[in-house]
A = this chain, B = another copy of it.
Amino acid sequence: MTTIRKLTADDYDQWHPLWRGYNDFYRADVPDEVARQSFGRMVAEQDGMMGLVAENAAGNLIGIAHLVFHPSTWTDGVYCYLEDLFISRNARGTGAGKALIEAVYAHADQRGDVARVYWTTQEFNAPARSLYDQVAKRTSFIRYQRV
């Protein structure tokens, strides 16, 4: 049984390897000082940041979801950007990813001021898109970035 709950200060030791696994997936290497700072902002729900975690029956963290709520010119509410989503390798296929996304939706509904929930993924990420196609709408938007 998977439980979804907010990230808390005590989660750091279990959160960190998941964050590292997520970084590895994108061949990224966010410095640990930044990771610690982001963790703190999410736990404190500062700067529009928030974390959700998926916990298995044994009480171990198996997934993380990081949200950034930010303003948009299109709304007087906020946009909810699901910036990071990661499920530990041996918990894939257990429904933890779907449960996290649904918890994001529920949280957005509860806030009441969320005009859009969105995220991005690499177009070739088949396993992720296979899930996303079930619970969301793939838009026609692609991302450009300053070099």
> Which residues of A are interface residues toward B (Cβ below 8 A)?
25-28, 30, 33-34, 37-38, 41-42, 47-49, 66, 68, 70-76, 81, 83-84, 105, 108, 116-126, 129-147
A-B contact pairs, 14 of them (CB 8 A): A30-B73, A30-B75, A34-B74, A38-B73, A47-B71, A68-B73, A116-B145, A123-B123, A123-B124, A123-B140, A124-B125, A133-B139, A137-B147, A139-B142
Check A141 against B143 for contact (C-beta < 8 Å). Answer: yes
Check A144 against B119 for contact (C-beta < 8 Å). Answer: yes
Give the docked Cα–Cα distance between A81 and B123 (Å).
20
Give the docked Cα–Cα distance between A119 and B120 (Å).
12
| Residue on B nearest A28 in the bound complex, by CB | B74
Give the docked Cα–Cα distance between A65 and B147 (Å).
19
Do A27 and B130 contact each other (CB < 8 Å), given the known contacts A117-B146, A120-B141, A143-B139?
yes
Q: Which residue of B116, B122, B144 is within 8 Å of A137 (Cβ)? A: B144
| Residue on B nearest A19 in the bound complex, by CB | B73
Q: Chain B residues near A131: list those with CB within 8 A.
A: 27
| Residue on B nearest A109 in the bound complex, by CB | B146
Check A42 against B73 for contact (C-beta < 8 Å). Answer: yes
Give the docked Cα–Cα distance between A68 and B75 (Å).
13
Nearest 8 pairs between A and B by C-beta? A70-B70, A117-B146, A120-B141, A141-B143, A38-B73, A124-B126, A122-B140, A47-B71
Check A146 against B76 for contact (C-beta < 8 Å). Answer: no
